[in-house]
Homo-oligomer: A and B are copies of this chain.
């Protein structure tokens, strides 16, 4: 057994804190979750009032819930919100009523193919109420008699909340990390995303210097990002160089990188470079609308360079959107590796400049600069010397470091000391 790394341990601590909270696209659960994350990353909470128009959408009412359950004809209490917050159809209107089995049935969701799973269901934009139970439980229910349904919720004017943090760099050019915070107790989709993103902040904040400004967004999926873009979209169109949606970051499967619509944007090149040349087992998929908030970022009016590095994507694992997407399904080691991989992408982005070899006509005489041990020198390192000569040969002011490194089919991160040496020798 591997010992857990410190990062994996911390991820688990915060997973356990965030797990029990019933989040939705608005409400106290969302605010409470942001407060917990603020222990890791200094987020500012932004609020948008119910009824506000954001592009084609309207901010819905704020939903809060205290309790919910069904009393069976025999008095047995089932589908209790106190037991699992997935038991309630998310965004359910309040109800307290005695009803027949026939009336209850269309409001009772279960999955015959997964008899042990409570499904995750929502109804944000069409007022409704409902309960979700396992198919095994459903089978035991009497299919007649009087049921009592109780949902102690409120749907009232209020706020939609998002958390945001900007980590400044030496330029205004931005890298965006975006994750969503609106699902109740589920692990890979969704807690893995906010957790990875919060700890990625810590690694970036610890860097001695940064070229890029990094923006971190924690918002409810879809409506939250639409609200965010209605305020920041114009700015991002101007400054965003690369962005990523963090979701499904914690299962132990191979990596999946979903490209932006551009397919070869800087976001795509940097992510695919790291996956390929850090030798991560991975696959690459094209942009598709079956996904998460990249749908908004890549909508035709914005078409931002935003991709998504995941592990096993939404809908490709059976536990998705059920109570089985829980702590057992994810691995904190895998989640920590996802954080490290995103951090490597940032390191590549930071170093991915174009360079101009100042001695462009023929090779520089490296020997006189102490950079080229002669072949009789026991210190001669053919690999490193070739890399240096290669770098100088391709440092033409047009090719960036990713392109230079990929010509040799190797990681751009191998070039850091070469770049430092060349700068010191005034070669670039």
Contacts and interface: CB of A to CB of B under 8 A. Distances in A.
Interface in A86-128: 89, 109, 121-126, 128
B56 A363 contact: yes
A126 B374 contact: yes
Contacts of A233: 361
B57 A300 contact: no
Interface centre among A89, A295, A303, A362 (most CB of B within 10 A): A362
Nearest to A391: B289
Interface stretch (A19-27, A150-158, A273-281, A392-400): A392-400
A117 to B, nearest CB: 15
A298 interface: yes
A386 interface: yes
A299 B394 CA distance: 8
A229 interface: yes
Contacts of A290: 386
- The quantity of this chain's copies bound in the complex is 3
Nearest to A369: B56
A360 B367 CA distance: 58
Given A362-B57, A363-B295, A365-B57, A300 B375 contact: no
A389 B222 CA distance: 13
Contact of A299 (B89, B363, B374): B363
Interface string A388-414: 011001111100000000011000000
Contact of A125 (B300, B365, B393): B365
Interface in A250-295: 261, 286, 288-290, 295
B376 A299 contact: no
A298 B396 CA distance: 11
Contacts of A261: 393-394
B302 A55 contact: no
A368 interface: yes
A364 interface: yes
Contact of A393 (B55, B299, B393): B299
A109 B125 CA distance: 81
The winner among A298, A365, A394 for most chain B CB atoms within 10 A is A365
Contact of A89 (B296, B376, B407): B376
Interface string A215-258: 00000001001100110010000000000000000000000000
B89 A126 contact: no
20 contacts: A55-B362, A57-B365, A121-B376, A122-B374, A125-B365, A125-B374, A128-B374, A128-B376, A229-B362, A233-B361, A286-B407, A289-B389, A289-B393, A296-B362, A299-B363, A300-B360, A300-B393, A300-B395, A300-B396, A300-B397
Given A57-B362, A230-B362, A299-B362, 20 more contacts: A55-B359, A56-B364, A56-B365, A57-B365, A58-B365, A121-B375, A122-B375, A226-B362, A226-B363, A229-B361, A286-B407, A295-B389, A296-B363, A299-B363, A300-B394, A300-B396, A300-B397, A301-B362, A302-B361, A303-B396
